Structure 1
Amino acid sequence: MHTAIFTFTQSGFLLGINLAKALEQGKKHIYTYRRFISDSDLSLNDDCILHFIEAVNDGRGLGKAVEDEFAVSDALIFIGATGIAVRSIAAYVNDKFKDPAVLCIDETGRFVIPILSGHVGGANRLAYKISELIGSTPVITTATDIRNVWAVDVFAKENLLEISDRKTAKKISAALLEGKSIGFLSDYKVRGTFPERVLKDSIEKYNVYITNGLDITKSPALCKIGQDSLLSAANTYNFLKLIPKNICIGIGCRKGADFYDMLKNLKDVFKKHNIDIRSVSHIASIDVKKDEVCIKKLAGALNTELCFFTADELKSAYGSFDDSEFVKKTVGVGNVCERSCMLVYGDMLFKKEIYPDMTFAASVEYSRVYNI
């Protein structure tokens, strides 16, 4: 965890030092003014780095320090007035699903206040932790937290699930806060005790569904319910998809294949197999394709990891594959797309699909378990 601590008084600096030493492992960057430092203050842990605010970026000071840390930190902690914190971060606040946790602590350590990303960013959890470490009182204002209501956005983040629609996510939280029940469906195993008013395998006005499906009415958990219910659910009720990132696309292609053709064809094959393309976590191929522009651009467009394997590694993949003698003569192994994806996840989702200048296959991690 990367944490930045900003202090503005002598007592605030001493509190920041003690807090940095008490926090879990990870880099802690402490920002203060040189006049607050004495030799006795400099016995820092190896994971604590001290910065002088007036020296940051040739005198640009606090503003530049906050700008830099906001882009890379998991949490920013201001020990001082909330007004300083709010004004310092205002220009960089962008997205509750991406912004770091921001907290404020008064210089005496009496109160710790999450002021940004309390929920999804983890500022509320960090506030509780800090309160235990320094004996302060956490000041929490997030409705679902103070009323102990299940939060779908936190559940999604903790389980690495992508939320399909933020407006529906807000409606889910609002329904729970109003005392209504929501339905919960999943194509994967979910472990744990379901919270109050979160009804497993039930369809309510608002529902959460863990699925890779593009059209949820064709997805496994909904298909078990029955056709009449499916039609009603599709037309009347609201579903929030929580999309697992657990699919690898294996790709074989000719040199210089076109990126736009590749993206169009991939969307076509995913639609054919009823897969939401946001489920893709990896793209895999043979190492001789590592410089192919179309594959690099596809990984960027889908925000996925790239994996490249040697011909010998591809030969070691377990399974039955549709090998081609031409491909074998060209790159040393008879099938790239199927073998490469199977080296990332062990269950074949669909076998080789052939398009001009390129082939696709996909594997999936069916064994993934989600904790509620």
Structure 2
Amino acid sequence: MKFAIISVTEQGHKLAKNLLEYLENDPSVIKVDVYHKNVNSTLNKCFEEYDCWVGIMASGIMVRSVCPLIKTKFTDPAVLVIGENGKHVISLLSGHMGGANHFAVKLAGMIGAVPVITTATDLAGKMGLDTLAYQYWLELDHRISIKNINQNIAAGGKVDLYLPTKFDFLKNHPIVNTSYKIDIWNKTFIQASFSGDEIVLTPRRMVAGVGSKKGVTEEQVFFALRSALQHLHLPLSRLDAIATADIKEDEEGIKLAAIKSDLPLMIKSLEEIRNFQHPDCTTSQLVKREFGVGGVSEPAALIEAGDNSRLILKKTAYNGVTVAVAVAI
């Protein structure tokens, strides 16, 4: 995710820099920028460039500043407000599909604040359909029906949810189980049914890119994959593939971990990686000196995820194994 933090006072700016330090150490945060003052001009210039805006200021300032910019709950970035004393983190806009509720809890935990969330399903301890889509990277159709579905869930009703086999992990999710009646079917998409409406949720292609030192074991690679996905609160079965470079295709540890994970191992040529450019990719000078490319895990994941894909976990090292995760958009 890409975060922007904007403050208006010196005390707020100090808090912004503290948040910056926390977020830069989070592998699920791809980019974070800090702005100070000039709220209207900054938001007008780059509102859509970030997944989440954090305003350290009075909520009224943030409300008046973003009102001319917002379009729809399905496309607007998350907007949070934090008082300059750092005591509360308010989920202000795009709580579900934009992830503001999730980010409010995340940032509150970082600074020891209280998250403030006001959406009905969350207050009832349920999971709305748009929250399900956000958490598991699902594309929604028939969005007009979501309001009725979420109102039913918040009121204590249940919605029929048909899951592909690879999503059967949701059967054991305590909040999902209180919101949906779950069945498993042999199709590749998810379907929610309620009061005559049928909504399809299509999983976006998700790929883990893997790089490694020579001679890593299956256990090392498998541990790295599971550990990486824990940052995203996702199980291994949510992945669609593992990708690596042809210089690593003979690594038994990577091949065996792919087999153990029941995932296809996709091999990308070094030339393809060398010619690939993406603003989210970072460069390892060690890898560049040895193989002539800036890295393996990030570009391999992005290439295999498809055109216009994005990183959702930057490359992270685990005992000789590097993992990055990309998803199709």
TM-score, normalization: structure 2?
A: 0.54
Q: Distance in 2 between matches of 1:4 and 1:145?
A: 25
Match of 2:76 in 1: 99
- Distance across 2 between alignment mates of 1:20 and 1:7: 12
Give 1:189-208 correspondences, 5 Å limit. Answer: 189-190=166-167, 191-192=169-170, 193=172, 194-201=176-183
Which amino acid is the alignment partner of residue 239 of structure 1?
E
Aligned to 2:21: 21
Contact 2:62 2:81 in 1 (8 A): yes
Shift of 1:163: 1.6
2:160 to 170, 183, 186: 183
Match for residue 108 of structure 1 among 79, 82, 85: 85
| Change in 2 beyond 3 A, CA 1:209/1:100 | farther
Which residue is equivalent to 1:31? 35
Q: Structure 1's 149 and 212: CA in aligned 2 closer, same or farther, altered over 3 A?
A: closer
| Cα drift, residue 166 of structure 1 | 1.5
Deviation at 1:13, TM superposition (A): 1.0
Q: Give, in angstroms, the shift of residue 142 of structure 1.
A: 0.9
Aligned partner of 2:134 among 147, 157, 179: 157
Letter in 1 for 2:196: Y
| 1:239 alignment partner, one of 179, 187, 198 | 198
Q: Distance in 1 between matches of 2:32 and 2:121?
A: 30
Offset from partner CA, 1:139-195 (integer Å, 9 cap, x none): 110111122112211212333322221222222211111222221113443223151
Structure 1 residue matching 2:15: 3-state secondary structure: helix
Q: Matches of 1:173 and 1:131 in 2, distance apart? A: 25
Whose radius of gyration is greater, 1 or 2?
1
Per the alignment, in what secondary structure is the counterpart of residue 195 of structure 1? Answer: helix
Taking only aligned residues, the RMSD between alpha carbons, in angstroms, comes to 3.4
Partners of 2:126 and 2:179 within 8 A in 1 = no
Structure 1 position 7 matched with structure 2 position 7: yes
> Any idea what the Cα deviations from partners look like across 1:242-272, whole Å, max 9, x if unmatched?
23456xxxxxxxxxxxxxxxxxxxxxxxxxx
Query: Could you list the per-position Cα deviations for residues 265-298 of structure 1 after superposition, in whole angstroms to 9, with x for gaps in the alignment?
Result: xxxxxxxxxxxxxxxxxxxxxxxxxxxxxxxxxx
> Deviation of residue 210 (structure 1)?
7.0
Q: Which has the higher contact order (CA 8 A, sep 6+)?
A: 2
CA distance in structure 2 between the aligned counterparts of 1:27 and 1:240, rounded to whole angstroms: 33
* Residues in 2 aligned to 1:245 and 1:73: alpha-carbon distance in whole angstroms: 20
Residues 197 and 123 of structure 1: is their aligned pair in 2 closer, same or farther, counting only changes over 3 Å? closer
Instruction: Give, in angstroms, the shift of residue 132 of structure 1.
Output: 1.4
Cα distance, 1:195–1:209 mapped onto 2, change above 3 Å: farther
Letter in 2 for 1:241: V
Determine what percentage of the aligned residue pairs are the same residue: 33
Q: Do the aligned residues in 2 keep the contact of 1:161 with 1:242 (CA within 8 Å)?
A: yes
Q: Distance in 2 between matches of 1:210 and 1:164?
A: 16
Give distance in 1, aligned partners of 2:134 and 2:10.
37
Mapping 1:250-289, distance limit 5 Å: none
Summarize deviations over 1:288-324 as a string: whole Å, max 9, x none. xxxxxxxxxxxxxxxxxxxxx9xxx9xxxxxxxxxxx
How many angstroms apart in 2 are the aligned matches of 1:132 and 1:187?
A: 34
- Specify the alignment match of 2:94 in structure 1: 117
Residues 241, 16 of structure 1: CA spacing in aligned structure 2 closer, same or farther, 3 A cutoff?
A: same
Unaligned residue ranges in structure 2 (runs of 5+): 206-267, 273-303, 306-329
Match in the other structure for 1:70: 47
**1:197 CA displacement:** 4.4
- Specify the SS of the correspondent of 1:108: coil
Report the CA distance shift for 1:27/1:189 in structure 2 as closer, same or farther (over 3 A).
Answer: closer
Give the secondary-structure state (helix, strand or coil) at the position aligned to 1:196: helix
Q: Which residue identity does 2:199 align to in structure 1?
A: L
Q: Which moved more, 1:100-109 or 1:180-189?
A: 180-189
CA contact under 8 A between 1:140 and 1:146: conserved in structure 2? Answer: yes
Q: Does 1:135 align with 2:100?
A: no
How far off is 1:62 after superposition?
A: 2.8
Distance 1:138 1:209 in 2: 39
SS at match of 1:30: strand
Consecutive unaligned residues in structure 1, runs of 5 or more: 33-52, 54-60, 203-207, 217-221, 223-232, 247-308, 314-343, 346-372
Task: Read off the aligned partner of 2:198 and give its amino acid letter.
Answer: F
The alpha carbon displacement at 1:85 in A equals 0.5
**Retained in 1: the 8 A contact 2:97–2:130?**
yes
Query: In 2, are the aligned partners of 1:209 and 1:241 still within 8 Å (CA)?
Result: no
Is the 8 Å Cα contact of residues 87 and 113 (structure 2) preserved in structure 1? yes
Q: Deviations over 1:81-123 (max 9, x none)?
A: 1111011111110121111111111111111111111121111
Aligned pair count? 203
Partner of 2:58: 81
